[in-house]
Structure formats: structure tokens, C-alpha cells
Amino acid sequence: MQEIHPNGRYTYIYTGSDSYEPLAQVRDWTNEDGENRQQTHYFHCDQIGIPREMTDKDGNLLWFGNYTGWGRLKEGTKVTDSAYQPFRLQNQYADREAGLHDNFFRYYESDTGRFVN
């Protein structure tokens, strides 16, 4: 999966070809001097594939989060401004525009714990 934002392109690497568990996020961007840059962040997931932490290549903590039983992020802490972590429950992407979680097949509302379509 890939996303394009004003601050760069984010490419996601998963643990396997049939897996929905994210392993890494690669950010490509062009700095103010016109130089191409690349940065890799790593996801640390629990036993069921939910991202709990994100670190840089040196193991420095960039983000950590806690979720409700229905998958709503009840606490997400960005340790640095460069951290961007859009995943929630396994195979759920937090769509900020819709305010819902997208699992590539349908939308999920984490406050109610129900699919909306």
C-alpha cells in the first residue's frame, strides 16, 4: 500500500505476501535543497498484528498507542513530529477524512464496534 501526502510518499511493507500485519513504513520526500531523501520506520505489533509501537532504524521510539476493545485509538503518542501511524486493528487503516477505519473491503466504526457498510 502507498499514500501520497504533501510531505512525501509513504510505502508500507507487510510481514508476508498474504499478511495484513505491517512491518515497515518507507517515507520518500524531497528536501528544501531538492535532494531526494528516504526514511524507514518499523512497526512493533502485538501477537494479533496490532501496531503498538513505531521506531526508527536506530530503535528510537517514535510513536506508541493503546486501543479500546473495539479498536479505537484511546491513546496515541507521537514522540516526534515525523511519526505517522495510520493503522489500527489488524487490516484496518484509519481514514482521517471519513473518520472511519477501512479494511480494504468495508468501513468500520470503532466507537460502536460495527461495520457501516
- Averaged pLDDT in 10-residue chunks for the chain of 117 residues: 88 90 94 92 94 95 91 84 85 85 88 89
Number of compact structural domains in the chain: 1
Q: Are 106 and 115 in contact (CB under 8 A)?
A: yes
Terminal CA-CA length for the chain: 22
> What is residue 52's predicted lDDT score, i.e. its pLDDT?
94
DSSP bridge pairs for 27: 10, 39
Domain that holds residue 8: 2-115
Between CA 61 and CA 100 the distance in angstroms is 26
The pTM score is 0.85
